[in-house]
Amino acid sequence: MTARPQWVVLAILFAGVLVAALDIAIVGPALSAIGAHYGVGNRALQWVFSIYVLFYLVGTPLLAKLSDRRGRRALFAGSLALFAAGSLWVAVAPTFGLLLAGRALQAFGAGGIFPVASAVIAETVPAQQRGRMLGLIGAVFGIAFLVGPLLGGLLLEWSWRWLFVINVPIAAVLIAARPAAFDFLGALLLSAALGAVNFGLSQLDTSALPASLLAWPIWPCLLAVVVAVPLFWRAEKRAADPVLHPDLFRSRQLKLAGAIALAAGLVEASMVFLPKLAVVGLGVDASASSFMMLPLVLTLTVGAPLAGVSLDRFGARIVVQVGLTLTIAGLALFAWLPLNTVTFYASGSLVGFGLSGLLGAPLRYITLEAAGASRRAAGQGLLTLFLSVGQLVGAALIGGVVASNVSELGGYRHALLAVAAGCVVALMLSAALRGRVSAQDA
């Protein structure tokens, strides 16, 4: 591949990643407006984010695995087509239930974009430049989180529906084909287990633990998880083309990367609720709260390519540990310091720099090397699964904690401390990471 075609391919991949990441960033400022439009509270409103994460989680391993067998181009384009259709559905949804259905379709399509992009980079970019390219994908996420709040703040002046319409023309120019069949049994069982986890956590009364675990409807959700998880694992062992290949779990490095991705997903979920925290704690309106995310997203945008360069120079373990340390510090400041504009911006900047060392290059570098050449996309799907589970649990946890507290501001502080605790566990686990991982470690 010559230099020119390679950069054309990379530009298309980055554009696809941008359009998918943009929707995650743009929904945060819109939560208050959506809640007011449909008349729903915090427990229901968290599903705007959670339903996206749930179906993104289901779509990612299915589409990533299928791309290993049927080709990257068709899957990438087909995923964009589904994403665009879901975006349009959300924009015209007359009820809250139909909005959630549109988010589900949108997310399933988005699930095929990022892992395929990472796998193509692994196949077309020399090993010594791979960290930089993965770092650029992280920068694309940063750009999306930068553009998202800006677009959100502007478009909310007319209607929150325009936040989703904006995805359609971007995706349209990249569409060329549609994907093939999937492992529906694995997807069904995975959806059942994770949907039960999310619904149970969102209904939890954290002020009455542990008694609330036995309350309706939480205990049926716990029972559903206990039943669905073993059935899912059994189905994957028997499936000819499983959603998640069990052999991937034999790699210690992949398991460590997955555990750290869980913590990163918790942090990502908390970012979505930060504009609501600004509304509650600082008294700003929904439009202004979106612009208050700028320091966080700017540091994420600047830090992502720096993390990629540092990855090539120092190895993954150090980059991940620095990222986790900064993230913990930022979350702790959000929870402990008096909330004002200065502390909001300072805490957000620390979280942004911290996330730049987790999202994008470092964990995906470990995963690409440990999974081996034949299962690169499937390995990326596995990592995205753990990241999405973290997002799903984080969104439900934050919604449940906030709804359980007498003070909404106090609820957000307690939720952010819980997320920080998860990052502390991930930091301890990161000591077992290797700086550079070879396929023999898989």
Looking at per-residue pLDDT, the higher value among 70 and 36 belongs to 36
For 181: left if phi > 0, alpha if psi spans -120 to 50, otherwise beta; the answer is beta
- State the pLDDT at residue 140: 67
- State the pLDDT at residue 416: 93
- State the pLDDT at residue 422: 93
Looking at per-residue pLDDT, the higher value among 40 and 349 belongs to 349
3-182+243-441 CATH choice from 3.40.630.10, 3.40.50.12160, 3.40.50.2300, 1.20.1250.20:
1.20.1250.20
- State the pLDDT at residue 417: 92
390: closest CA among 253, 239, 257?
Answer: 257
CA distance 294 to 36: 24
- Other beta carbons within 10 angstroms of residue 177's beta carbon come to 15
> Which residues lie below 8 Å from residue 442, measured CB to CB, with a gap of 6+?
250, 251, 253, 254, 370, 371, 372
Mean pLDDT throughout 337-355? Answer: 92
Reply yes or no on whether the pLDDT at 5 is more than 60: no
What average pLDDT is seen over the chain? 76
Mean pLDDT throughout 88-102? Answer: 85
110: closest CA among 188, 27, 232?
Answer: 27
316: closest CA among 152, 122, 131?
Answer: 131
Q: Is residue 222 a contact partner of residue 230, using CB atoms and an 8 Å limit? A: no
CA distance 14 to 136: 8
- DSSP alpha helix (H) spans, 71-183: 72-92, 96-110, 113-124, 127-155, 162-165, 167-172
Q: Among 126-135, 318-327, 341-350, whose mean pLDDT is lowest? A: 126-135
Reply yes or no on whether the pLDDT at 441 is more than 80: no
- State the pLDDT at residue 134: 63
| Confidence label for 442 from pLDDT (cuts 50, 70 and 90) | very low
Total length of the chain? 442
Instruction: Look up residue 406 and give its DSSP letter.
Output: S
CA distance 76 to 71: 9
- State the pLDDT at residue 179: 38
- State the pLDDT at residue 180: 40
Reply yes or no on whether the pLDDT at 49 is more than 50: yes
Reply yes or no on whether the pLDDT at 33 is more than 50: yes
112: closest CA among 65, 162, 160, 175?
Answer: 65
- State the pLDDT at residue 434: 76
Tens digit of pLDDT for each residue in 270-328? 887 888 888 888 888 877 777 788 888 788 778 877 887 787 788 888 999 999 999 99
Q: Where are the domains of the chain?
A: 3-182+243-441
CA distance 298 to 294: 6
Looking at per-residue pLDDT, the higher value among 139 and 210 belongs to 210
Mean pLDDT throughout 246-251? Answer: 78
Looking at per-residue pLDDT, the higher value among 413 and 367 belongs to 413
Percentage of the chain beyond pLDDT 90 is: 11
| Confidence label for 424 from pLDDT (cuts 50, 70 and 90) | very high
